[in-house]
């Protein structure tokens, strides 16, 4: 792994696959690091002919953290209540600029772009602001920014509030256990506790997710505009993947995304929640590859 200096932000990244393969940028979501992409999914994409680039968004993992006063609970609450009340240190547009800067740092003029959750929002933003850099787009368990679609289920809110109000972990083991429980709450039917424990361990070892960094990214989402009108201008081949058991970003978010982007394809998995279930990764890799092959930019 290595890092790229993009303006005032340092971005940590890792590359899998040969240098002459088609570049594919993977963008992870809020509170998650590059290790949240399952290694077997990365390997499947490499086997299908891609040079896979993963990175930590700012305020996560080994990338740089924002030097500004921490958001207050009031800041977060106001942003959740109304976009016009949101106060953020940066927006999804800034995070998309980080992604564009990383590609430029690597000498890549265009790439296939895959984003999960907040990463899907960033991928969409990159596609509408820098369309020449995106060969194909895949948006996973995400939404358009329209507050009517892809909201969090009311049934999930009590569990999320309990996690937010819980005392900070006192040691490494408690941090790992808390992360596993957080993943369990939002995952689908095929939750794999052992795999999630290994991923949580990797997160903690690289730098535990803090409430401050999570709140900064949540504020970035809340302060960013609805992308729906701009999504209608996307011409890159687009695949939208969503799980019917996703309660963090309800499936209406995926449906709205597919409806907004002309010619997009929607792939829905009935047992999938807000996760990347092992049993569906081959299908995901195949679908992402098929979507990439629709791109007019070919090797």
Give the pLDDT confidence score for residue 211 in this predicted structure.
79
Residue 299: count other Cβ atoms within 10 Å of its Cβ: 6
Query: What is the pLDDT, as a whole number, of residue 289?
Result: 98
The tally of domains found in the chain comes to 1
Within-domain flag for 203: no
Question: Which tens digit of pLDDT belongs to each residue from 137-164?
Answer: 999 999 999 999 999 998 888 887 777 6
CATH number, position 237: 3.40.50.1820
* Residue in 114, 109, 96 with CA at minimum distance from that of residue 54: 114
* Domain containing residue 23: 2-152+211-293
Quick check: is 174 in a domain? Answer: no
Identify the bridge partners of residue 239 per DSSP, sorted by sequence position: 138, 265
Residues sharing a CB contact under 8 Å with residue 7, sequence separation 6 or more, in sequence order = 101
User: Is residue 40 in some structural domain?
Assistant: yes
In 3D space, the residue among 20, 24, 46 whose CA is nearest the CA of residue 291 turns out to be 24
Segments of the chain scoring below 70 in pLDDT: 1, 79, 164-166, 208-209, 298-299
- Looking at residue 173, its pLDDT comes to 87
Q: Which helix (H) or strand (E) holds 239?
A: strand 238-243
Residue 242 three-state SS: strand
Q: Residue 166: its pLDDT value, please?
A: 66
User: How is residue 50 written in tokens?
Assistant: 């891609």
Which residue is it, tokens 């990347």?
276
Supply the pTM of this predicted model.
0.95
In a domain, 96, yes or no: yes
**Residue 176 structure tokens:** 């790992």
Helix axis angle for 92-105 and 211-223, nearest 10°, is: 100
pLDDT of residue 171: 83
Q: Which two tokens stand for residue 117?
A: 């959750």
Strand intervals (E) in 104-192: 111-116, 134-140
pLDDT of residue 253: 98
Residue 183, domain member (yes or no): no
Crossing angle, helix 281-293 and helix 39-47, to 10 degrees? 40
**Contact criterion met (CB below 8 Å) for 120 and 212:** no
Distance CA 244, CA 249 (A): 10
For residue 74, being part of any structural domain is answered with yes
**Which structure tokens are listed for 178?**
């808390």
Residue 179 domain flag: no
Residue 112 lies in a domain: yes
């Amino acid at each position: 792994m290595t890092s790229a200096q993009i303006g005032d932000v340092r971005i940590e990244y890792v590359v899998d696959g040969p240098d002459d393969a088609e570049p594919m940028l993977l963008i992870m979501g809020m509170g998650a690091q590059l290790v949240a992409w399952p290694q077997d999914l990365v390997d499947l994409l490499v086997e299908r002919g891609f040079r896979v680039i993963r990175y930590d968004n700012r305020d996560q993992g080994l990338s740089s953290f924002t030097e500004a006063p921490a958001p207050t609970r009031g800041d977060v609450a106001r942003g959740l209540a109304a976009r016009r009340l949101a106060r953020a240190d940066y927006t999804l547009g800034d995070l998309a600029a980080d992604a564009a800067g990383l590609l430029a740092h690597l000498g890549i003029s265009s790439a296939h772009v895959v984003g999960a959750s907040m990463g899907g929002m960033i991928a969409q933003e990159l596609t509408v602001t820098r369309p020449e850099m995106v060969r194909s787009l895949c948006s996973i368990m995400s939404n358009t920014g329209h507050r009517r679609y892809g909201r969090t289920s009311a049934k999930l809110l009590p569990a999320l509030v309990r996690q937010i109000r819980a005392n900070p972990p006192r040691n490494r083991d408690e941090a790992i256990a808390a992360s596993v429980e957080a993943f369990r709450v939002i995952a689908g039917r095929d939750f794999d506790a052992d795999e999630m424990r290994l991923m949580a361990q990797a997160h903690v070892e690289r730098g535990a997710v803090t409430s401050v960094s999570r709140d900064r990214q949540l504020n970035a989402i809340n302060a960013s505009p609805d992308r729906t009108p701009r999504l209608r201008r996307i011409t890159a081949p687009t695949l939208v993947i969503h799980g019917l058991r996703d309660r963090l970003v309800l499936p209406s978010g995926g449906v709205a995304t597919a409806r907004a982007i002309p010619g997009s394809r929607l792939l829905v998995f009935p047992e999938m929640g807000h996760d990347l279930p092992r049993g569906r990764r081959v299908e995901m890799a195949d679908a992402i590859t098929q979507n990439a092959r629709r791109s007019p930019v070919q090797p």
